[in-house]
Amino acid sequence: MVLALAVILAGSARAATLVPLGGAEDPIGFEQPIFLTSDPDDPERLFVVERKGRVVEFAAGAKRLYADLTGLVSCCLSERGLLSIALAPDFATTGAFYAAYTGKPAAGGAEGDFHLDHFTPNGGAGAVARSPILSFAHSAEPNHNGGQLQFGPDGRLYVSTGDGGGTGDAAGNAQSLDTLLGKILRIEPRPGQVPAYSSAGNPFSGDAAGRDEIWSYGLRNPWRFSFDRLTGDMVIADVGQRVREEVDVAVAPSAGTVGGAGANYGWNCREGLIAYTAPAPACAAAGPFVEPVFDYPHEDPGGGGAHGCSITGGYVARDESLGDLYGRYVYADFCVGEVRSLALPPGGVGAATDRDEGLALPGRPTSFGEDSCGRLYVMSTDESVYRFVGGSPPACPVAPVDVAAPPRLDSGGAKKDVRVAVRSRRRGRSATFTVMARLLPCRRGPDDSAQLRRGGRAIARKPLDRRCRARFTLRLDRRATLRVLVDPAGEASTLRSRRLLLGRR
């Protein structure tokens, strides 16, 4: 059966197709595919998450089992299962990843509890070594688990959680700062250490009221969120109750930072842009709320407008081969199965402009994915994964080598700068690079750290030592653009090193 979906859109700039992995004539099937990501150094090396607990590697036209978590994952009552993964910053050398899932008792706790763990390949046949990071109770109801994992531009790991399930959030979890349910969490994982993560710098950490891990709250079931790889803006698709579905935006304040700290998105006081019909008593004193940039109804409004029952959030398209889809937020609805897109408002203020992309899936859309080249994918209940293909061949953008802005002066009159040096060791196609960064002059604060960014995305963070140095090691088998960022104490903005273009052409 031919599964390629060719779509003719108005005008040559709006031309896109959805092509299954493996090609239209011989598509590669997956069992309940639920998420996709790729090797940061090789966008052709894809990792497809299957809901029952398997991570499948797809490369060179073939697939193999990369990790088998089925002994830990509780699936598939209602919305339970393996929810998503995020490759660890040191993936190039360790192959490690983080996974969010609902657990069996073998994972610790009750059936259905939420788990975030660190895994490292440990032999063949998908065997892994596990290091628990974070878990909390979620056994009462099998739905509204959230479960998206994404490393943000600041190098921290962001986690979405649902409100605990059931109807209407009767327990008021989303508005409560004493529970991790109905939230976006932000942590710095520290696998193998005690404690296994840090929540330093979060809006409710330290002496502030509320759980330290919380970044933002007031969400019902943020099944998928993503970061715009160009701007760093966070876009959250929150599944509604019975009336409205919504899209929220947290604009990045500056490069290497994430917006939305402490934001309250309104559930269950509001559903989309309207008041919820049965709000919790706490809503009388709650707010202010961050309004969504877009919501749509469950009933068909006619005229080709968006409607459905459960939003499946995607990504801001940064694949220039997709014509005027570039820069638009791509999403779908599980009950309708058509791909749509939004022109998000500048600065996250105002209303988004919606349109139908004319792309219909043979099954229901379960999730979107993005590879390290910025190409987009959508997973479907027909057991296939589809790639968005434009009218011209995609190209992974590589920024040219340049020099950072002139160093600023510190209070003592000395020039503040981030100096970098590189050493390399080659073996076959790959090369191992050691990037050594140093802050000059050395006036280190107790929490100062350096962040290594690849292609504009944070891949590692290291504390500065007593001589204001940090060392990063990574393996590359193709060209990559790297830069080191430092946020020294007392500085209002980030210091940046010159750009490094490393690896084989």
Each residue's pLDDT tens digit, 105-145: 999 999 999 999 999 999 889 999 999 999 999 999 999 99
pLDDT at 158 over 50: yes
- What is the arithmetic mean of pLDDT over 233-251? 97
For the chain, the average pLDDT equals 89
Residue 370's beta-bridge partner residues? 376
pLDDT of 188 reads 97
Q: How confident is the model at residue 34 (pLDDT cuts 50, 70, 90)?
A: very high
Per-residue pLDDT tens for 198-240?
Answer: 999 999 999 889 999 999 999 999 999 999 999 999 999 999 9
Residue 504's pLDDT is what?
60
pLDDT of residue 467: 80
For the record, the structure tokens of 73 come out as 């994952």
Tokens encoding 199: 């929540």
- pLDDT tens-place string over residues 69-88: 999 999 999 999 999 999 99
Q: Is 436 helix (H, G, I), strand (E, B) or coil?
A: strand
Among residues 251, 258, 183, which one has the least CA distance to residue 220? 183
The whole-number average pLDDT for the span 153-173 is 95
Ordered by start, the domain boundaries in the chain are 5-389, 408-502
Q: How confident is the model over 273-322, as pLDDT tens digits? A: 999 999 988 899 998 999 999 999 999 999 999 999 999 999 999 999 99
pLDDT at 413 over 60: no
Q: What is the pLDDT of residue 495?
A: 87
Higher pLDDT residue, 236 or 436? 236
Please state, in angstroms and rounded to a whole number, the distance separating the CA atoms of residues 140 and 98. 25
Task: Kindly state the percentage of the chain with pLDDT values over 70.
Answer: 91
Query: What do you get for the CA distance between the two ends of the chain, in Å?
Result: 39
Distance (Å, rounded) from C-alpha 388 to C-alpha 368?
Answer: 10
User: 389: which residues sit within 8 A by CB, 6+ positions away?
Assistant: 16, 17, 18, 19, 321
Q: What is the pLDDT of residues 385-407, one digit of tens each?
A: 999 999 888 777 543 333 333 33
- Considering the four listed CATH numbers 3.40.190.10, 2.60.40.10, 3.40.605.10, 2.70.40.10, the one that applies to the domain covering 408-502 is 2.60.40.10
Give the separation between CA 464 and CA 139, rounded to whole angstroms: 41
User: How crowded is the C-beta side of 54, counted as CA atoms within 13 Å?
Assistant: 14
| Spatial contact of 274 and 254, defined as CB atoms under 8 Å apart | no
* Burial zone of 7 (CB within 10 Å; 0-12 exposed, 13-18 middle, 19+ buried): middle
Q: What is the CB neighbour count within 10 angstroms for residue 299?
A: 9
Encode burial over 163-192: b for 16+ CB neighbours within 10 A, e otherwise.
Answer: bbbeebbebbbbbbbebbbbbbbbbbbebe
Which own/partner pairs from 416-419 qualify as long-range (CB within 8 Å, at least 24 positions apart)? Answer: 416/440, 416/441, 416/488, 416/491, 416/495, 417/495, 418/450, 418/484, 418/485, 418/486, 418/495, 418/496, 418/497, 419/497
From 433, 177, 174, select the one nearest 280 (Cα to Cα): 174
- Inter-residue contact 65 to 59 (CB < 8 Å): no
pLDDT value of position 14: 57
Q: Which among 114, 141, 119, 146 is positioned nearest to 130, based on CA atoms?
A: 119
User: What is the per-residue pLDDT for 487?
Assistant: 79
At 175, which amino acid appears?
A: Q
| Beta pairing partners, 98 | 86, 118
Which helix or strand (DSSP H or E) is residue 450 part of?
strand 449-454
Euclidean distance between CA atoms 418 and 405, whole angstroms: 11
The answer to whether the 5-389 and 408-502 domains have the same CATH topology is: no
What tokens were used for 231? 């701007």
Helix (H) or strand (E) holding 94: helix 91-94
Residues 319 and 397: their CA atoms lie apart, in Å, by 9
Nearest alpha-carbon partner for 248 in 232, 240, 236, 259: 236
Q: Which one has a higher pLDDT value, 121 or 490?
A: 121
Find tokens 């919501």 and name the residue: 295
CATH C-level class of 5-389: mainly beta
Q: What is the pLDDT of residue 489?
A: 65
| Pair of tokens at residue 156 | 């921290």
Widest CA span of the chain, in angstroms?
Answer: 72
- Which class for 404: exposed (0-12), middle (13-18), buried (19 or more C-beta within 10 A)? middle
